[in-house]
């Protein structure tokens, strides 16, 4: 039974029809053989009847001879010899024919030979002798005495006995053949009825097996297919029609899904599926709609980040949402970098303003010193105080510049981390590409299994092909996202490079400020010396 279950539907049908054909051929073969036997028996029966008829014809010919002879002996007229002459010819012909008909039966051949001998003896010793004596009036009475004496009776009785024996043998053969013919008819009738019963049993068995191994599984498959999508109307209301309707509905659903995924693969997130397919196809449609909505939300967040809005709050859908987690980390890193850059810029601006104020004060002190020698002594002390203040400001500026250099280096490190985050996103995109590739392989395997299913798997093969195309398009879209991630990494690397170039400039500025600080210190020392000299000069002048 398990062997029959594992056969394909065409082989099951061929095996079922083959069993019925074997039964029919067996019955017909027996009927044919018995019909041939009946025909053969009928021919032998006809042959036996022909032998009996021929033998009786020979006996009738002998009676004609005897009757003609008696008429001739009584009347003496030659016209009465005509039955005799015809009887002689007919007797010889029928005996020869009978011998030919029984040429395969030596016993009958012997009996016909004895019959022929009795006839020839009667003809020679009685008939021809009497006819010869009737030719002369003197011997006519002697001729009549031959018949009256019963001289030919022994020959005629012997001939009749042989005829009876021959007919008896042939009749016995006829009875035997009739019995064989009846037996053949009975067996043929039994074979016909038995064949009808066997065909009926085989038909019921085949119907049961086909129902259990073909119709019932097809019904189950049809019911399972109906859970994938609401079947469409095909005009057929059997299991095949239901399977076809389900396959068409699933194909239509996946074509719509393919259209949406195609749009998503080229960046169009406005497409959606509004039709209700029911079953698993509807679940796929809802999941696709949710995926499109999530991608739209992610695209909106990315657009806001691109426009400089770092206040957005990406929320990963789950701990498996690699893209959402990476986007969240990227926003956090960008906020950190922006904060550090803003702080460094503010520090640089404050230092520059203080340096400008110190220079302005120095210029004003020099002008006042040059304006009047007389006020030099009084102003020198004030100038010394200013120079000292400048030295302190320069020292603070030096510290700010050094801190700015450190902040710039920290900014470069932050940008480096941003680059690492971008590279992590690119790596995660490769995971998405691998998932698409695995989906492609699964679709290919489904197509292979559908191909093994043959004609019944054609609808599944179309669905598997469409899924495979969707996987390929998803893989292409993931590749494009990966390329965009690579471009983003390049931009971040360029920003890091710019910060790397900016750090030496800031360090150079710090060095210049350090030199200015040293100069201010020297000015402080020089102004003290000048102040002492002016005081001495003032004393000398006074």
Q: Token match 């003896």: residue? A: 121
What's this model's pTM, rounded to 2 decimal places?
0.35
CATH topology assigned to domain 317-541: Helix Hairpins (1.10.287)
Region for residue 76 given its phi and psi (left: phi exceeds 0; alpha: psi -120 to 50; beta: otherwise): left
Burial class (CB in 10 A: 0-12, 13-18, 19+), 257: buried
Cα-based torsion angle of the residue sequence 232, 235, 236, 239 in order, rounded to the nearest 10 degrees = 0
CA dist list (Å): 44 to 36, 39, 134, 160: 12, 9, 47, 24
Domain map (residue ranges) of the chain = 2-218, 236-312, 317-541
- DSSP type of residue 126: I
What pLDDT tens digit does each residue of the chain (542 aa) get?
Answer: 677 677 778 887 888 788 878 988 888 888 888 788 788 878 888 989 999 999 999 999 999 998 888 888 888 888 888 999 999 999 999 999 999 999 999 999 999 999 999 999 998 888 888 888 888 888 888 888 887 877 778 888 889 999 999 999 999 988 998 888 888 888 888 888 888 898 898 888 888 777 877 777 777 877 877 788 788 888 887 777 877 888 887 788 788 878 877 987 887 878 778 778 777 777 877 777 787 788 788 878 778 888 878 788 888 888 878 878 887 787 788 778 768 757 755 764 574 476 356 537 635 654 564 465 466 467 657 766 775 786 687 678 678 767 876 876 786 787 678 668 667 856 776 876 787 688 778 878 877 887 888 777 777 778 778 878 887 887 887 788 678 777 866 876 786 787 677 768 767 876 876 887 787 688 778 778 877 876 787 676 66
* CA distance between the termini of the chain: 139
Assess contact for 469 and 259: CB atoms under 8 A.
no
**Looking at the chain, how many residues does it have?**
542
3-class secondary structure, 298: helix
Tell me the C-alpha distance between 291 and 323, whole Å. Answer: 13
Q: Which residues of 100-113 are buried (b: 16+ CB within 10 A; e: fewer)?
A: ebbeebeebeebbe
CA proximity to 169, closest of 222, 223, 111: 111
Tell me the C-alpha distance between 7 and 26, whole Å. Answer: 25
Tell me the C-alpha distance between 157 and 413, whole Å. Answer: 149
Is the sign of the CA dihedral 103, 109, 113, 115 positive or negative? negative
């Amino acid at each position: 039974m398990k062997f029959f279950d594992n056969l394909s539907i065409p082989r099951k049908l061929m095996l079922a029809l083959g069993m019925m054909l074997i039964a029919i051929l067996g019955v017909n073969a027996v009927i044919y053989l018995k019909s041939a036997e009946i025909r053969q028996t009928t021919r032998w029966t006809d042959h036996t009847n022909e032998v009996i008829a021929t033998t009786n014809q020979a006996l009738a010919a002998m009676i004609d001879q005897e009757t003609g002879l008696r008429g001739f002996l009584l009347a003496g007229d030659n016209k009465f010899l005509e039955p005799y002459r015809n009887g002689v010819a007919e007797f010889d012909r029928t005996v020869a024919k009978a011998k030919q008909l029984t040429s395969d039966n030596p016993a009958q051949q012997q009996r016909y030979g004895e019959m022929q001998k009795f006839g020839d003896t009667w003809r020679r010793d009685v008939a021809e002798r009497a006819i010869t004596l009737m030719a002369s009036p003197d011997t006519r009475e002697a001729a009549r005495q031959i018949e009256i004496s019963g001289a030919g009776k022994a020959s005629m009785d012997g001939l009749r006995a042989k005829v009876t024996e021959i007919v008896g043998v042939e009749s016995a053969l006829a009875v035997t053949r009739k019995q064989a013919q009846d037996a053949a008819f009975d067996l043929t009738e039994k074979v016909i009825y038995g064949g009808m019963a066997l065909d009926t049993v085989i038909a019921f068995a085949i119907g049961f097996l086909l129902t259990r191994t073909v119709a019932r599984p097809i019904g189950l498959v049809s019911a399972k297919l109906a859970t994938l999508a609401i079947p469409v109307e095909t005009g057929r209301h059997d299991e095949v029609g239901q399977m076809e309707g389900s396959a068409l509905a699933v194909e239509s659903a996946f074509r719509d899904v393919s259209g949406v995924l195609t749009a998503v693969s080229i960046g169009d997130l406005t497409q959606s599926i509004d039709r209700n397919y029911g079953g698993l196809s509807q679940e796929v449609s809802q999941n696709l709609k949710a995926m499109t909505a999530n991608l739209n939300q992610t695209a909106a967040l990315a657009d806001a980040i691109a426009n400089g809005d770092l206040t957005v709050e990406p929320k990963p859908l789950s701990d498996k949402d690699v893209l959402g987690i990476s986007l969240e980390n990227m926003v956090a890193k960008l906020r950190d970098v922006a904060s550090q850059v803003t702080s460094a810029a503010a520090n640089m601006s404050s230092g520059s303003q203080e340096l400008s104020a110190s220079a302005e004060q120095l210029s004003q002190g020099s002008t006042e010193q040059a304006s009047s020698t007389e006020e030099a002594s009084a102003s020198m002390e004030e100038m010394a105080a200013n120079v000292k203040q400048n030295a302190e400001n320069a020292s603070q500026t030096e510290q700010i510049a050094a801190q700015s250099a450190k902040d710039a280096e920290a900014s470069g490190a932050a940008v480096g981390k941003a680059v690492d985050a971008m590279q992590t996103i690119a790596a995660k995109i490769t995971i998405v590409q691998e998932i698409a590739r695995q989906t492609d392989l699964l679709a290919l395997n489904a197509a292979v299994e559908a191909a093994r299913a043959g004609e019944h798997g054609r609808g599944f093969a179309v669905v598997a092909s469409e899924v495979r195309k969707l996987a390929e398009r998803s893989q292409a879209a993931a590749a494009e996202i990966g390329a965009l991630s690579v471009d983003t990494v390049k931009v971040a690397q360029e920003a890091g490079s710019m910060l790397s170039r900016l750090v030496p400039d800031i360090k150079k500025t710090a060095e210049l400020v350090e030199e200015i600080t040293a100069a201010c210190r020297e000015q402080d020392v020089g102004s003290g010396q000048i102040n002492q000299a002016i005081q001495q000069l003032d004393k000398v002048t006074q």
